[in-house]
Amino acid sequence: MPNFSNSLVSRFLMVWTAALLLGPLAIAASDAPSFEKGEDYGAVRAKMIKAGWKPFHAPDADTCGSGDSRCTGRPEMVACAGTGLANCKFLWKKGARMLALCTAGELTARLDVVCQP
């Protein structure tokens, strides 16, 4: 005869452990405003600031090129490619959480994905 009480306790402990390990990731993701792929980064930036996120200037960030409208006045820029899809990566911080937003677009940065910080 199977021991159902041990099985139930075991399942409870597995679910509890998963919640403890994955909970902070869910909180960080739910704390960010919602975005649409292709949304203008200027609008995304305004949403981030309104939600309490701060632009994060990485000490090893590239320098924004002169006249590059994708990153001028945006200290959170980590890097912007000059070729291909003209991708840029921007870092944001709120408390101990970091969030990276990646864009594409030669003249106007448009949100592509939430990427790895």
**DSSP run (H or E) holding 27:** helix 4-31
Residues of the chain with pLDDT under 70: 1-30
The whole-number pLDDT of residue 31 equals 80
The whole-number pLDDT of residue 30 equals 57
CA 86 to chain centre: 19
- Encode pLDDT of 56-68 as tens digits: 999 999 999 999 9
* 8 A C-beta contact, residue 42 and residue 73: no
The whole-number pLDDT of residue 2 equals 52
The whole-number pLDDT of residue 70 equals 95
**Domain boundaries defined on the chain:** 1-31, 34-115
